[in-house]
Amino acid sequence: MKASRRSKAAAKKAPREQAAKAQAPAGSLVGKGHNRAVPPLDKAKRLALFEMMVKIREFEEQVQRSYLEGLVHGTTHLCQGQEGVAAGANLALADGDYVSYTYRGHGHCLARGMEMETAYAELFGRATGLCNGLGGSMHFTDIAKGLIGAAGIVGGGLPAAVGAGLSAQLNGRGQVSAVFFGDGSVNIGAFHESMNIAQVWRLPVIFICENNLYGEFTRINFTTPFEDLTERAKGYAMTAVQVDGNDVEAVYCTTAEAAERARAGDGPTFIECKTYRHRGHSRTDPAKYRDPAEVEAWLARDPIPAYRAKLVKEGLLTQKEAERMVEEAKAEVKAAADRAAAAPWPDPQQNFTAKMFA
């Protein structure tokens, strides 16, 4: 009967058959580190990586300050400590690619070029906000930059990322759909269905799991049978790579390689980035549930000082230049936040029907 299907769909050289190929999965790359095949980064790019991590860090620190000033409302989920993933992965993506993430997505959006002032304006609930103040911290979306959206529901954004991947495959222009999510998300149904569909249809999707060891206040070992989430990818015969999420260049190379495969039609990749969040889950969380020794060990592996030291050691950056970058970032976020704080509130009388229906 497969034969008859083939003839039937011959005209369209049925990609359905390609799906069938998925039975024989591409030789799994499960393993540590990245593939040296990816061309080395030039100085400009490496400095840009450092600068981006610094910007994300300072952006989040400013969010914290603004929060205490009463400018940010409700809750926020900051990513200090995980900047290496956002900066590294995004550098490997191209214009025209699709990127999605979660409520902890400020970093991914910044790395993708989201403007700080509109971001703060959104956090402050202002009319000039990225989403006109309708979404807030958990729903940054900037379609013009391929930032297709954040999931406030754990795992909820993965199916849409798969849809964007199908969109990319149908377009045939070599786009990819990259989606960022956490370790706690791998236990929910939406993750499973998304992984399976992406693999069976060999979609150009890059699943980037930021394994920071905790889902809210609960450590991974209480919710998942292992701490290495590449293990989970085996259940989909999906190429899976584990990388040090605090090594920004390793994340870049691994993502670049996955993107190459995806653009070449070789299907999805699951990337596990080992990382850690410095702060609590959300602004009200003092993160008392973590072993102080564990926290200490990870703070010592902060991706920013580590990369700074590396660049300085290699003579690509002086401490002075690094300081200046930090100062500039501090000034930039401060200025952006100040301008945003001066922005007008949205008008409750505006026409919301236009926001609802196209």
Partner 1 sequence: MQTQEITYREAVVAALQEEMRRDPRTLIMGEDIGPSGGPFKTCQGLYEEFGHARVRDTPIAETGFVGAALGLAITGYRPIVEIMFADFLGVCFDQIVNGIAKHRFMSGGQFAVPVTIRAIGGAGLRFGPQHSTTAESWFMSVPGLKIVCPSTPAEAYGMLKSAIRDDDPVLVLEHKALLSSKGHVPVGSDQTQPLTGPRVLRPGRDATVVASLAMVPRALAAAEKLAAEGIEAEIIDIRALRPMDLTPVFESVRRTNNLVTVEEQAKLGGWGAEVAAQVTSEAFDHLDSPPLRVGLPEYPVPYSPPLEDSVLPSPEAIAAAVKSLL
Helix 116-123 to helix 319-341 angle (10° resolution) is 50
- The SS3 assignment for 320 reads helix
Of the ranges 44-52, 106-114, 175-183, 334-342, which one interacts with Mg ion (CB under 5 A)? 175-183
Strand partners, 130: none
CA–chain centroid gap for 195, Å, is 16
Asked if 267 contacts 261 with a C-beta cutoff of 8 angstroms, the reply is yes
Asked if 184 contacts 156 with a C-beta cutoff of 8 angstroms, the reply is no
Site map for its own copies, 73-92, x if CB under 8 A?
--------------------
Instruction: For residue 185, state whether it binds its own copies (rule: CB under 8 A).
Output: no
State how far the alpha carbon of 179 is from the alpha carbons of 112, 226, 254, in Å.
13, 22, 14
Site map for partner 1, 189-228, x if CB under 8 A?
xx--xx-xx--x--------------xxxx---xxx----
328 contact partners, CB below 8 Å, separation of at least 6: none
Of the ranges 51-59, 159-167, 183-191, 262-270, which one interacts with Mg ion (CB under 5 A)? 183-191
Q: Pick the closest to residue 206 from 168, 251, 161 (CA basis).
A: 161
What single DSSP character describes residue 121? H
Residues in 210-229 that interact with its own copies by CB under 8 A: 219, 221-227
For partner 1, the binding residue among 26, 41, 48, 166 (CB under 8 A) is 166
Nearer to its own copies, 193 or 332 (CB): 193
Instruction: For residue 64, state whether it binds partner 1 (rule: CB under 8 A).
Output: no
For partner 1, the binding residue among 53, 86, 111, 158 (CB under 8 A) is 158
Place of tokens 């000082």: 305
Residues that bind Mg ion (CB under 5 A): 182-184, 212, 214
Residues that bind its own copies (CB under 8 A): 1-3, 16, 19-20, 22-23, 25, 187-193, 196-197, 199-200, 219, 221-227, 231-238, 288-291, 294
